[in-house]
Amino acid sequence: MNSSVEIVNLLNDLPSLSNYLKENHELEFDDSIYSTIAKHLLDQPVTIESLSVQRNLYGRLRSTNLNSIEIDLFIFNLKQSLNSNSKDLIKIFLQYLHNLTRLLPSEYFDLSYLCSIALLDKGETNVLACIFCAFIEKNLSKTIRFDLIINHLFTNENENSPWIEQLTKLIIDNDRLWLREFYLKKIYQHDFLQAIDRFDKQNIFHLQPIQQQQLNSKKSIEFNCLNDLSDLNEIHLKLKEFVENSCPIEQIEDECLINLFSKLTNYPDDLHLLFSCLLINNFNRNYFNEINLRLFRRLIHLLDNYYLNQQDLFDDNQYRLLIVYLLSKYLCELHRRRSSNEHDWYKLYVDVPKDHPLPTFDLYSDLLCLLSTLTYGKNECQEEIRLTEGTIESILSMTQIDINQPKAQACVTWLLKCLTESNEENRNYIKQIK
């Protein structure tokens, strides 16, 4: 039987038509078939079955753009799906939209991205990640909402999806400045970021890190306003305006950053800035936040690998001295807090791994190894550790055996070698302490 006749005969049996289109995905159809199906579906409510038919219909090669009837059907599907609370229907709609996008006029290629942002709370992770990958690869916009994407798609540490892995790579590789341009500048004070860039030790702990304006809290998105629009251009402008200007900026959650960085093989240039900001935030508290500690531990490992594997690229790196300074201050603070309240300190190490497994157990050894990496053969960094009051004393205090920090003693030995091997002033300073 002729395929066109077969399709016409199945119009009143949408599940069977969907299966037929899926099984015969290699068939090419005349534009008349697309128009026939579109006319039929325009008279029916949007359902999973109708969207499944369209998803399978447009998942094939086609040389022409959508005709006017198909665009009318697309507008109808879009408005109904954006206001739907059915996750199953939304999943099919996004798949259909992904297949359809390449047939839209070029000025509307970002519609799948805009709709995906609007449906982040309702869409399936794999489908959303696939759409975002396609959009970022085309590099259609410089206003990608990394805050929304990261907060919604990197909430599950155990998410094992090839699309999430691909999205992670694209987020880092295709926009290496997203952390500063999109996130840091919107969250942190301009003067504070400048102090970090200038290594302004006088002000770095005295400036207010977070911007004064409050970030808007998350709110549900309503798209009833689209119901009165029938022109695709008007709908597109409305969605674009919402995503770029009206959708509240979210502070990226620490847990989501952990999950994002845990999947990295390449590291963003401004990882140093995030590391610095996190340290400053921790200094403003009288206790250790479990999530922040976990993120901090992850960042230590990333920075350690960063300098070990790519050291030749960072011989003149402006952040190296800053990281040494901040780590020195942090090491002193850890020593102070542990000394003042041993019970709470050790309780944290008992409780944290239960709900938030840490990369390694021994925080002190992580810090000491990173300092060793940063200071080896770098006289300026070695000097910085000595000049940061209390740092060498805190390091020497870790030479005692501590069953809760089993690797620290060996790491102290290596760090002291890095600090003193070609630095007589450091050797004399340590002799004086002893």
Per-residue pLDDT tens over the stretch 285-309: 666 667 777 778 888 888 887 777 6
Q: State percent of the chain over pLDDT 70.
A: 84
Averaged over 23-38, what is the pLDDT?
90
Least confident of 123-132, 145-154, 245-254, 370-379: 245-254
Model confidence, pTM: 0.80
Least confident of 7-11, 137-141, 200-204: 137-141
Residue 1 has pLDDT above 70, yes or no: no
Averaged over 77-93, what is the pLDDT?
93
What span, in angstroms and rounded, lies between the C-alpha atoms of 4 and 30?
Answer: 9
Residue 181 has pLDDT above 90, yes or no: no
Residue 98 has pLDDT above 90, yes or no: yes
Note the pLDDT tens digit of each residue in 304-363: 877 776 655 555 567 888 899 999 999 998 888 777 766 666 666 666 556 555 555 678
pLDDT at 294: 76
Model confidence at 158, in pLDDT bands (50, 70, 90)? Answer: low
| Chain mean pLDDT for the chain | 84
- How do the domains of the chain map onto residue ranges? 3-176, 270-433
Averaged over 91-114, what is the pLDDT?
92
Model confidence at 223, in pLDDT bands (50, 70, 90)? Answer: confident
